[in-house]
Structure 1
Amino acid sequence: MRGWLLTFVLWTTVLWVNARQFNTHWVAAPDTDSLAHVWFRTTLLSSARHHEAHLTIATTGLVKVYVNEAKVGTALFYPSRPQGDTTTIALTLDVTPYLRPDSNVVAVLYSPGFPHATRRQVSAVFYGIDSKGQRFAYFSDNSWICRHAASGLTADGHEWVDGRWADTPWTASDFDAALWRHAVETTDDENATAPFAQQQTAPCKTYTACLPAEKIVRSRGYNYFDANGNEVSYDYGRGFRGLVRLNLREARWGEQIETAGLRYTCNGQMDEQASPVFAIGYQRRVTVTGDRYFRRDQITEAEAVDVAPIFIDNTFQ
């Protein structure tokens, strides 16, 4: 009975529609490449706090969503998708709890699911009911601004993170607009090329209640470690799907550390944390190496973080 109910819920909340019928408004970084993570943002003004608001995000990759600096939902990122999948997936998020009375900053961190270039990066609609009971809707367009993020993919599909710029307050209302550029909006002229036209008419998988996501389910320490020169290996006893999160102390500014598919550049703060942004994998024993400045005693904790693909109830994120 429980299995039948789950099937029914998923069937009623997952709709297959044509991308144009869904009314997508794609935006992309003007210098799109196959490896870049991209920060997108827009500021929407209002005269009073909206009564309610939702944000529908469509993407062919992976996203983290923020409203007024707050990360929306409890997922590590959205959506959960198989490796190599570029299906357009649209998710509707209830963002009412994050609203402000004067303006609302919507920010999205985008990553391609694997190294490939596409102009179908993010499509968004922010809609709801305002303080006067009137309906409103704002679509993503070239008024959105963007820039390359402080992270990205490597050519072999792993991830790099530059800790020196990772704390940039890019989701805040007060931010440094230098290096930001207007996003490129998809136009009808671009549909003239066959490959892109095929992308535009690709099916869109739409979720409104149960959202496919990757979520942290637990974290734990290592069983033991082996040190060998400027590298150290941590054994976690049993295999897990997820990521390794390193807590570092007194690392040098610009110091390079590599572990479990992550290349991390240190920011030189007293304490910092090195972990992937989107990259997850299967692992049990993880080796950490670094440049000539790396020392094993800089690692104060090496946590195994289990991540699971689940459906999150949009009502109780």
Structure 2
Amino acid sequence: MRRLALYIMAACAIGATAQDWGLRWIACPTAGEADQVWFRRTFTIDGRPPSARLTIASAGRFELYVNGYNATTDVIAPGAAPQCDTIRVMTFEVGRFLRADTNVVAVWYSPAGRSRKQLAMTLSGGSGDSDRVALSTDGQWLCRPANATTTPEGDETIDDRHYIDYWNTDGGPTVGWVPAEEQEGLAPSPIALVPPIHKAMRIRRISRYTFLDDLGSTVVYHFARRFDGWVRVTLRGMGRGDTLTVNGLTYVCSGRSDEQACRRFTTSASSMAVVSGPEGFSRDNVTDIEAIDIEEYTHTSYLY
């Protein structure tokens, strides 16, 4: 408890006054300003450390993976409203995900504005005075644009044709990946350390629709209560390249059976879901539709 209290006090003090101190920033040289980005780094360790702390800083939102496991337990991280001129720093305990062999740390990054401060990270772990693993962001990381974009207005576009299976594991393909670009000489930014006890986001409820309006290639699904979060649409019988819009989400179909269209880093508020598709699209193509209500809560676990 004493360590936790000291951490919170330090976070509050630094968050109010700090500038961009000593962070080693990387960015994807082939990504546009709206592109979401996949980052990954493969490394080996001789023995699994009993604990390991990973500290990640970003000007946007992200999902953190260690050997394919999602270490970001909150549905949107950081949970506070994104501000592209403020760097948010979070620390995760990831020792339980590491193994005494080849490991992969991967990040799915979503921009919150125009910034080359996409990702800065350190990972350290060991026992006693010796570290079994020590890693930071540099040009040895690989990156590529993800299959999605985030607009400044808070909408997303997802192209499922270009999703790469196992991109965040050791078994994922490396063709098309390029070395990350180290960023130097950037102007300083305000920094906010996210303490163990902080405001975060979680799923509150998942609701089904009560009735619908069938307008042909547009179907409007009405829900019993207003929600602020995601609409998740499960699709069947769609052609590869067919494009749908769902409450501000643009989704390009891969043609897989039971593919799902859903936001990842942004939210929208409504009491209905307006699903529009190409000519020939009908409600028969929708096998399931859910309103996922996301709420703010107080995250109290230090280990995530």
Task: Look up the match of 1:73.
Answer: 72
Q: Does 1:206 align with 2:203?
A: no
The count of corresponding residues between Structure 1 and Structure 2 is 297
Candidates 123, 130, 137, aligned match of 1:134: 130
SS in 2 for 1:258: strand
| Deviation digits for residues 139-191 of structure 1 (CA, Å, limit 9, x no counterpart) | 1111111000011124754111111233531101022111111111122xxx2
Closer/same/farther in 2, CA of residues 134 and 249 from structure 1, 3 Å limit: same
Question: How far apart are residue 51 of structure 1 and its match?
Answer: 1.7
Partners of 1:287 and 1:314 lie apart in 2 by: 37
Cα pair 1:248 1:299 within 8 Å, conserved? yes
TM norm structure 1: 0.86
Partners of 2:6 and 2:100 lie apart in 1 by: 38
| Deviation digits for residues 54-93 of structure 1 (CA, Å, limit 9, x no counterpart) | 1111001100100000111321121022254531000001
Candidates 166, 169, 172, aligned match of 1:169: 166
Candidates 139, 145, 148, aligned match of 1:148: 145
Cα pair 2:235 2:285 within 8 Å, conserved? yes
Amino acid of the residue matched to residue 160 of structure 2?
G
Task: Look up the match of 2:287.
Answer: 300
Task: Look up the match of 2:98.
Answer: 99
Partners of 1:242 and 1:170 lie apart in 2 by: 26
Closer/same/farther in 2, CA of residues 109 and 210 from structure 1, 3 Å limit: same
Partners of 2:27 and 2:79 lie apart in 1 by: 21
Cα pair 1:260 1:287 within 8 Å, conserved? yes
| Deviation digits for residues 80-118 of structure 1 (CA, Å, limit 9, x no counterpart) | 2225453100000111121111122100011112xx321
Amino acid of the residue matched to residue 180 of structure 2?
A
Between 61-70 and 202-211, the greater mean CA deviation after superposition = 202-211
| Deviation digits for residues 208-232 of structure 1 (CA, Å, limit 9, x no counterpart) | 4225433222211112111012110
Closer/same/farther in 2, CA of residues 313 and 73 from structure 1, 3 Å limit: farther
Question: How far apart are residue 277 of structure 1 and its match?
Answer: 1.5
| Aligned ranges 1:227-238 → 2 under 5 Å | 227-238=214-225
SS in 2 for 1:223: strand
Cα pair 1:248 1:301 within 8 Å, conserved? yes
| Aligned ranges 1:81-120 → 2 under 5 Å | 81-82=80-81, 84-113=83-112, 116-120=113-117
Closer/same/farther in 2, CA of residues 301 and 167 from structure 1, 3 Å limit: farther
Between 97-106 and 159-168, the greater mean CA deviation after superposition = 159-168
Task: Look up the match of 1:282.
Answer: 269
Question: How far apart are residue 258 of structure 1 and its match?
Answer: 0.7
Amino acid of the residue matched to residue 239 of structure 2?
R
SS in 2 for 1:297: helix
Task: Look up the match of 1:263.
Answer: 250
SS in 2 for 1:169: coil
TM norm structure 2: 0.90
Partners of 1:40 and 1:287 lie apart in 2 by: 33
Amino acid of the residue matched to residue 41 of structure 2?
T
Runs of 4+ in structure 1 deviating by more than 4 angstroms, as ranges, are 7-13
Amino acid of the residue matched to residue 220 of structure 2?
S
**What is the CA RMSD across the aligned residues, in angstroms?**
2.2
Closer/same/farther in 2, CA of residues 56 and 167 from structure 1, 3 Å limit: same
SS in 1 for 2:161: coil
SS in 2 for 1:315: coil
Cα pair 1:257 1:294 within 8 Å, conserved? no
Closer/same/farther in 2, CA of residues 163 and 62 from structure 1, 3 Å limit: same
SS in 1 for 2:239: coil
Task: Look up the match of 2:28.
Answer: 29
Partners of 1:276 and 1:284 lie apart in 2 by: 16
Amino acid of the residue matched to residue 234 of structure 1?
Y
Cα pair 1:250 1:268 within 8 Å, conserved? yes
Amino acid of the residue matched to residue 231 of structure 2?
V
Closer/same/farther in 2, CA of residues 100 and 223 from structure 1, 3 Å limit: same
Between 238-247 and 163-172, the greater mean CA deviation after superposition = 163-172
Question: How far apart are residue 41 of structure 1 and its match?
Answer: 0.6
Cα pair 2:31 2:37 within 8 Å, conserved? no
Which sections of structure 1, spanning at least 5 residues, go unmatched?
Answer: 1-6
Task: Look up the match of 1:184.
Answer: 181
